[in-house]
Amino acid sequence: MVKDLFERIHDNKGPLGKWASQAEGYFVFPKLEGKLGPRMQFQGKEVLNWSINDYLGLATHPEVMKADADAAAEFGAAYPMGARMMSGHTDWHEKLQDELAAFVHKEAAYLLNFGYQGMVSTIDALVTKNDVIVYDVDSHACIIDGVRLHMGKRFTYKHNDVESLEKNLQRATKMAEEQNGGILVITEGVFGMRGQQGKLKEIVALKEKYNFRLLVDDAHGFGTLGKTGAGAGEEQECQDGIDVYFSTFAKSMASIGAFIAADKDIIDYLKYNLRSQMFAKSLPMILVKGALKRLQLLRENPGLKDKLWENVNRLQNGLKDRGFNIGDTNTCVTPVYLEGSIPEAMIMVNDLRENYGIFLSIVVYPVIPKGIILLRVIPTSSHTFEDIDQTLAAFEAIRGKLVDGTYKKIAAETTVDMEAQ
């Protein structure tokens, strides 16, 4: 008997979906309203927002907003129509590609209409069934989905563990030799949950012993790391060793879209083989011209990044001085690790929002191990020292309630299922 395909879906909503009845609209799919920035509205109340990746404050920069408005007035939201290969190609797209390539110190670049699907397609296009992929076990979902398309062998290595990577490179080398294939190593410039930089310099050094190519997702590093803001590779002085560099416009550039950068012959190949770009609409002109203005400001206003790091250092040093565990972050992403159950985490976040006016993202199992609560704080150049001090005081208060059992008691008295922790 053939089962109804939807039977499983009705019975099992998944590890996050099972919380929907208690969490949706508040803990997940919340609605932040008002002008993007540190101070926004949530359910009719002003909150101090630490949950958006507008690292450099470009989302509401006057020059950016004018560029976006001017492009919208001139072109509307549709132009150009069609895929790049057919009818959606313009001089402005080429100009943005050239400027991005120069900024990240690569020969050429290619625009992607969306970061997630662009990464999936890039992985798919770079490898054949005879090739072997080796990637960090904590890689972003877009990398995992890209690897799933691979018809050949793939290995994960322990997170940011170069020794584990080398062991897997040895396995991959043997297999690639037998299959007459190559090896693709994939990691991230910045891991967006824990805030650690990928071990790029150490990985590049392994090229002296093993024959592989390196693909790096630097979504959080672009604009925030490196002398000029060119990302984690520039920060670690190994950009030349990154064979294919990927970043998105959804973080420091405060927009939509992405790009890949590499040697010209590789980009020429990819632009004819990236299925998500060949068979999808070109990036609209409003986003292209907006990205050009954002990139100009990123290049010409180093003070934006300087202010960001002033805030990062004040926040992270303040947390460490107060005894909070922020792991080994060495980027802007600031995780605060606490011990507690999912129900306790839900009560704690409610307290933060309703009584302390602090809005931030919460990460729990299955993203991180059971029994751990990760409060993910994203400082930006738009935050003030006053914002930071207010948040540090709130964190001290909620930690006390977590430790003394206040949140556990409240959770037990609510409809939260304590057995689901």
Q: Give the DSSP letter string of 209-276.
A: TS--EEEEE-TTTTTTSSSSS--HHHHTT-GGG-SEEEEESSSTT-SS-EEEEE-HHHHHHHHTT-HH
Residues 6+ apart with CB under 8 A from 193: 138, 333, 335, 363, 367, 368, 374, 376
Domain ranges, ordered by start, for the chain: 7-55+302-420, 61-300
Interior angle at CA 185, CA 180 and CA 191, nearest 5: 165
- The 10s digit of each residue's pLDDT in 333-359 is 999 998 888 888 889 999 999 999 999
Whether the predicted pLDDT of 419 surpasses 50: no
421 confidence band (pLDDT: 50, 70, 90)? very low
220 within 8 A of 376, measured Cβ to Cβ: no
Interior angle at CA 341, CA 325 and CA 39, nearest 5: 60
What is the rounded distance in angstroms from the CA atom of residue 250 to the CA atom of residue 286?
15
Whether the predicted pLDDT of 418 surpasses 70: no
Q: Which segment of 7-11, 98-102, 150-154, 317-321 scores lowest on mean pLDDT? A: 7-11
> Peptide bond before 366: cis, by omega within 30 degrees of 0?
yes
Q: Which segment of 25-29, 301-305, 364-368 scores lowest on mean pLDDT? A: 364-368
Mean pLDDT of the chain: 93
pLDDT at position 364 is: 79
Asked if domains 7-55+302-420 and 61-300 share a fold, the reply is no
Instruction: Say what the pTM is.
Output: 0.94
Mean pLDDT of 193-205: 96
pLDDT at position 15 is: 77
- The 10s digit of each residue's pLDDT in 363-392 is 877 777 788 889 999 999 999 999 999 999
Higher pLDDT, 120 or 421: 120
CATH number listed for the domain at residues 7-55+302-420: 3.90.1150.10
107 confidence band (pLDDT: 50, 70, 90)? very high
- Residue 55 DSSP class: T
Q: Residue 55 has which token pair?
A: 């690292």
Mean pLDDT of 52-63: 96
pLDDT at position 415 is: 56
Residues 6+ apart with CB under 8 A from 401: 348, 351, 407
266 confidence band (pLDDT: 50, 70, 90)? very high
pLDDT at position 221 is: 97
At how many degrees (to 10) do helices 91-103 and 285-300 cross?
30
Which architecture characterizes domain 61-300 according to CATH? 3-Layer(aba) Sandwich (3.40)
Q: What is the DSSP string of 275-296?
A: HHHHTSPPPPHHHHHHHHHHHH
pLDDT at position 2 is: 93
What is the rounded distance in angstroms from the CA atom of residue 3 to the CA atom of residue 414?
37
